[in-house]
Amino acid sequence: MAATELAQSVTQLSVLDDLPVTRDATTSRVLVNNPLLRVVDFAFDEGQLLTEHASPRAVVVTLLTGTMDFDLEGATHQLVPGDVLYMAPDARHALRATSKCHMQLVMVDVDA
């Protein structure tokens, strides 16, 4: 997706329909992207992993469908649809999809 201007409103429709779960894969779609804010939706097949990493941005994670185990700073959380996590900048985290699922990340550049 091209950059989204801060002063530009954007509508994204049928997002989950346009991001199906793919067998043995993790896929993503950028919905909003500007210097302040980045919104990305992910689709995970059961068993897919994101290994431990950190982001310099503040991040809000929302599980939209399915289930996953989400490791955040040494604690594992079993997420179900509607669960939300806030991660401070540089928080170490990882995840494993325990079923087919969709997750949304909202990343905010705290230095912008």
Which domains can be identified in the chain, with CATH numbers? Answer: 33-108 (2.60.120.10)
pLDDT in tens, the chain (112 residues): 678 888 889 898 999 999 999 999 999 999 999 999 999 999 999 999 999 999 999 999 999 999 999 999 999 999 999 999 999 999 999 999 999 999 999 999 988 7
Tell me the backbone φ, ψ of residue 83, rounded to 5 degrees. Answer: -70, 145
Look at the pTM and tell me if it is higher than 0.95.
no
Strands of 37-44's sheet in order across: 26-33, 37-44, 101-108, 58-65, 84-87
3-state secondary structure 69-100: EEEECCEEEEECCCCEEEECCCCCEEEEECCC
